[in-house]
Amino acid sequence: MVWPFKPAWRKQIARLEISGVIAKPLAKRVLKALKLIEERKFPALLLRIDSPGGTVVDSQEIYGALAQLDSKVKIVASFGNIAASGGVYVAMGARHVMANPGTITGSIGVILRGNNLERLLERVGVSFQVIKSGPYKDILTFDRQLTEPERQILQDLIDTSYRQFLNTVATARNLPVEKVQSFADGRVFTGEQALALGLVDRLGTEEDARRWAAELVGLDPAKTPCFTLEERKPLLRRLTSPSQAMAPSLQSGLEWLEWELATNGQPLWLFRP
């Protein structure tokens, strides 16, 4: 016997936020949520992106999961204040992309930074004795300048990562690689400019994106609700009053510093304003 009523999930649009820097904790949460969306058989997903990008592999893993889910669920990516670099990359896993006219997007490219404290160490009289198995084992060490062969090795690494980014955007947006390359030089642009370039399909708000998602699966845009998948906060954080919590600006600054230190020397798909 076929049950005549659709489960509640099939009458709703799943909503998932990708907010902040894309790194392992965020990727883990998003991948878990995408699996849940597939299991519950939501007909559509509204993917809200407000991110400057982040680490290469975490962006690739989210993109891969979205591209796989796209065969079963209609996905509409909606750009918020900023959807740049890795934020753009993950959006390529959605077949339908909408941006606000004023969204800051683009920044397609790769960056790798290392710290050089050589002069500071000399001033305080600190030096390091290094024994290594090969000439490049301590590449990007902070106590000396890069050599030219090391610089070329890292440039080749960056170029390879850049080509991966370029080809994914070209394939997802059905654009010639040469066309993408003409604006994929690290520059940022608005959502309105992104539409003209073919990087997004439409301009509109998150509400417009929700209505679009409903239309794609034959649901009433005026009545179809969103079900937001959120990470459940740890019990301690839920019990702690706002007055006891750290100031948001300080918390944000410490988190950014921690992330900077953790990703030092890694290729990043990240917009750094």
| Cα-only R_g, the chain | 22
Select which of 32, 41, 72, 137 is catalytic: 137
- H or E, element range at 228: strand 226-228
**Beta-bridge partners for 82:** 104
Interstrand relation of 53-55 and 268-270 (parallel, antiparallel or unpaired): antiparallel
- Give the count of alpha carbons within 13 A of 44, CB side only: 25
Interatomic CA distance for residues 197 and 194, integer angstroms = 5
Interatomic CA distance for residues 213 and 80, integer angstroms = 16
Select which of 59, 78, 85, 107 is catalytic: 85
Q: Is 28 a catalytic residue?
A: no
Interatomic CA distance for residues 162 and 111, integer angstroms = 9
Among 86, 265, 61, 263, CA closest to 162: 86
Signed CA dihedral, 207, 13, 196, 188: sign only: positive
Can you list the positions of beta strands (E) in 26-68? 44-51, 53-55
CA triple 185-99-43, angle to 5 deg: 120
Q: Is 161 a catalytic residue?
A: no
Both tokens assigned to 88: 């753009």
Query: Phi/psi at 16 (nearest 5 deg)?
Result: -135, 130
The catalytic residue positions are 85, 137
